[in-house]
Amino acid sequence: MSYRVAIVGCGGIAQLHVDAIQSINGLEIVAFVDNKVDRAEKMAGTFGGTPYADFAEMLDHEEIDVLHICTPHYLHVPMAVQALERGINVLTEKPMATSVQEIAEIRAAVAISEKQFGVCFQNRYLPSSKMAYDLIASGKAGKVLGARGIVTWMRDEKYYTESGWRGSLKTECGGVMINQAIHTLDLMIWLTGTPVSVEGKINNHHLKGTIEVEDTAEMFLDFGNDVRGIFFASNANFKDVPITLDLFCENMDILLRGEDIFIDGVLQETEALPAAIGKMCWGVGHKLLIEDFYEKLSLEEPFPVSFDEAKHSIQAIIDLYKSSKG
């Protein structure tokens, strides 16, 4: 396979994409885009390609096959739609969208385009997550009767103020749920099913006056047929703690804790993980996800973390925000 690749957004997460791309034969990064053009120039100087400050200019000047979107949240849908309309495959960081209107926009663009659209829910690719999925999908675990998710991390004032976009309703479009805990919520929904209703509350406890978004959230998810889930997330913890996801099934209890899996309290052996890159909280699944994206592209097969898969967690978060506002 041979694909010409562009990356828009040259912040920290872009490095994970670059490292994965470089490990796959036949991929060439031809462009980096960032409105802080010095960041694009630095990446291009190290990894090749042409730096751009303007996304539209890059699209007009480069022939690309795949676009990786690593920008602030509010830019994900506009950029994805432009790329899909030009016949470019898209792999975007989460969230896929930030509103009901944006979900509709990306749905329409995906429906018209014949190109791949994928979302980086990389924790699905962890061996522990895959083992949990296989136990449930095979029927060995039995029906999932209930689920519990807990994400308690620490994000200080500097994390928000130095970014230029985090903490703002206009650009981050939400807080701990849409930025950090969405990964664990995605796993819960992937493993348990699509909720029929969501309610809960969001709050800002420890950075009042600094951020406009929530640092803490609690949710109740009704999956129907007497299956329910509870979810708690906060960036106001003293430090980052590994995520917890409990799945209470007919035949066993499954616990995902960080990158480990326990069945009825017993730690299970899983496949070896690739070397970690970047922040611990990002996990190590990006490389596995990006490799699978390009494999599916070359085989002309659907990428599993598609619009239809990714829409459920963002819809649940939007429902939470609506519920909290009454």
pLDDT (tens digit, 9 = 90+) per residue, 57-72?
Answer: 999 999 999 999 999 9
Task: State the Cα–Cα distance between residues 129 and 191, nearest whole angstrom.
Answer: 9
pLDDT of 116: 97
Task: Report DSSP state, residue 180.
Answer: I
Which superfamily, per CATH, for 3-122? NAD(P)-binding Rossmann-like Domain (3.40.50.720)
Q: For 149-176, how does the pLDDT look when each residue is reduced to its tens digit (9 = 90+)?
A: 999 999 999 999 999 999 999 999 999 9
Task: State the Cα–Cα distance between residues 169 and 172, nearest whole angstrom.
Answer: 6
CATH classification of 126-260+307-325, choosing from 3.20.20.190, 3.40.50.720, 3.30.530.20, 3.30.360.10?
Answer: 3.30.360.10
Alpha carbon distances (Å) from 80 to 20, 221, 317: 20, 29, 21
Q: For 115-156, how does the pLDDT look when each residue is reduced to its tens digit (9 = 90+)?
A: 999 999 999 999 999 999 999 999 999 999 999 999 999 999
The answer to whether 89 and 115 are in contact (CB under 8 A) is yes
Domain borders along the chain are 3-122, 126-260+307-325
Q: For 77-98, how does the pLDDT look when each residue is reduced to its tens digit (9 = 90+)?
A: 999 999 999 999 999 999 999 9
What angle in degrees, to the nearest 10, is found between the helix axes of 100-112 and 76-85?
20
Largest CA distance in the chain: 57
Q: For 277-287, how does the pLDDT look when each residue is reduced to its tens digit (9 = 90+)?
A: 544 454 578 99
pTM above 0.85, yes or no: yes
In our burial notation (b when 16+ CB lie closer than 10 A, e otherwise), range 266-275 reads eeeeeeebbe
Question: Which residues, including other chains, have CB under 8 Å from residue 197's CB and lie 6 or more apart?
Answer: 221, 222, 319
pLDDT of 285: 87
pLDDT of 325: 86
Strands (E), the chain: 3-8, 27-33, 50-52, 66-69, 89-92, 117-119, 144-152, 197-203, 216-224, 227-234, 244-249, 253-257, 260-263, 266-267
pLDDT of 114: 93
Handedness of CA 55, 56, 61, 65 (dihedral sign): positive
The answer to whether 182 and 313 are in contact (CB under 8 A) is yes
Percent of the chain with pLDDT over 70: 96
Task: State the Cα–Cα distance between residues 179 and 244, nearest whole angstrom.
Answer: 17
Q: Which of 261, 144, 151 is nearest to 191 (CA)?
A: 144
The model's confidence at residue 272, banded by pLDDT at 50, 70 and 90, is confident
Length of the chain: 326
The DSSP annotation for 183-197 comes to: HHHHHHHHHH---SE
The region of weakest confidence among 122-126, 274-278, 299-303 is: 274-278
pLDDT at 17 over 70: yes
Task: Report DSSP state, residue 236.
Answer: B
Q: Which of 236, 273, 238, 248 is nearest to 258 (CA)?
A: 273
Fold equal for 3-122 and 126-260+307-325:
no
